[in-house]
Amino acid sequence: MRHAQKFRLLHQQDRPLILVNAWDAASARLLESSGAAAIATTSAGIAWTLGYADGERMPMSDMLDACRRICRSVQVPVSADIERGFGETAAAAAGNVQALLDVGIVGINIEDGIDGSTGRVHDLGVLAGQIAAIRKVADAAGVALFINARIDTYFAAASDPIARYEATVHRAQVYINCGADGIFVPGLVDLEEIAKLAWTIGKPLNVYAGHSGVPPIAALAQANVKRVSLGCGPLQASLALTRRIAIEAIEKGTYDAMTADMLSAKAVNALFE
């Protein structure tokens, strides 16, 4: 409960809460030691490190185990990305959240998502029902769970930017009325539009900065953004470095990319001592 309250307060500062998302215990501890006030998981990152493609391909039990290890390894609040809830029904999603609460999770991201067959965002009633059920479970557990509702309208094909924005606002209002504490709209890059949305919804707005073209933190703060997450971007960058290391060793027989800025084994061990 203490972590849940602290996590909520982190969304009320003048400076946005910066979440450099973690994918395992080592990355979570590294982020915490670097000054992270909270840890958020990347669902894609956890899936990839466990040998699955992104998109709820991994079993919920595997994701739960990863979250348990992260919560055990850090002393700051932890929020989990649960994609579309890992369940066919609102009750199933709520049951999964109950399991996450039991391992120490105090925040979640849950999304409406894109229908692969149509390219459109799923019906808003699905996520609205999940949020309501999850809020009920969290309240019964006495945990002020921070529910961050992700809206994927900016990932869907759109010919009318005004209609897309209005649809985003409508979904945000519905999700907030069902119990969401914050709104997450990946794909936003226009600063004026970001500021307008933040003012309109009246709840903490989360901007995704896992790709190029996103305004810097200072500009987002001026636009009243309360949360900035890097998602799977850090792991993608780490994998790119690992690929460079491998290609250099295999093709050139040298190790410069690896040794240029590597942590010592002692430093990594110290993260867990």
pLDDT tens digits for range 125-141: 999 999 999 999 999 99
Q: Identify whether the C-beta of residue 121 lies closer than 8 Å to the C-beta of residue 156.
A: yes
For 83-121, the pLDDT digits (tens) are 999 999 999 999 999 999 999 999 999 999 999 889 999
On whether both 71 and 161 belong to a single domain, the answer is yes
Q: How much is the pLDDT for 244?
A: 98
Kindly state the tokens that stand for 179: 């119990």
Q: How much is the pLDDT for 122?
A: 96
On whether both 9 and 59 belong to a single domain, the answer is yes
Which strands form 39-40's sheet, in the order they lie side by side? 17-19, 227-229, 205-208, 182-184, 146-150, 107-111, 78-81, 39-40
Closest-CA residue to 9 (of 224, 181, 139) = 181
Q: Interior CA angle at 223 toward 182 and 211, to 5°?
A: 75
User: Which residues in the chain show pLDDT less than 70?
Assistant: none
Domain-embedded: residue 33: yes
Domain-embedded: residue 42: yes
On whether both 226 and 246 belong to a single domain, the answer is no
Distance CA 230, CA 103 (A): 24
Q: How much is the pLDDT for 203?
A: 98
Domain-embedded: residue 91: yes
Distance CA 192, CA 239 (A): 33
On whether both 130 and 180 belong to a single domain, the answer is yes
Domain-embedded: residue 236: no
Domain-embedded: residue 71: yes
Q: Identify whether the C-beta of residue 196 lies closer than 8 Å to the C-beta of residue 205.
A: no
On whether both 10 and 33 belong to a single domain, the answer is yes
Q: How many domains does the chain have?
A: 2
Q: How much is the pLDDT for 158?
A: 80
On whether both 220 and 252 belong to a single domain, the answer is no
CATH number of the domain that residue 220 is part of: 3.20.20.60
Dihedral (CA of 61, 63, 65, 68) sign: negative
Kindly state the tokens that stand for 55: 């998109």
Domain-embedded: residue 186: yes
Residue span of the structural domain in which 63 resides: 2-231
Domain-embedded: residue 92: yes
On whether both 171 and 262 belong to a single domain, the answer is no
- The SS3 call for residue 262 is coil
On whether both 159 and 272 belong to a single domain, the answer is no
On whether both 127 and 177 belong to a single domain, the answer is yes
On whether both 219 and 250 belong to a single domain, the answer is no
On whether both 40 and 125 belong to a single domain, the answer is yes
Residue listed under structure tokens 């709820």: 56
Alpha-carbon separation of residue 146 from 106, 115, 142, 198 (angstroms)? 6, 26, 12, 18
On whether both 63 and 150 belong to a single domain, the answer is yes
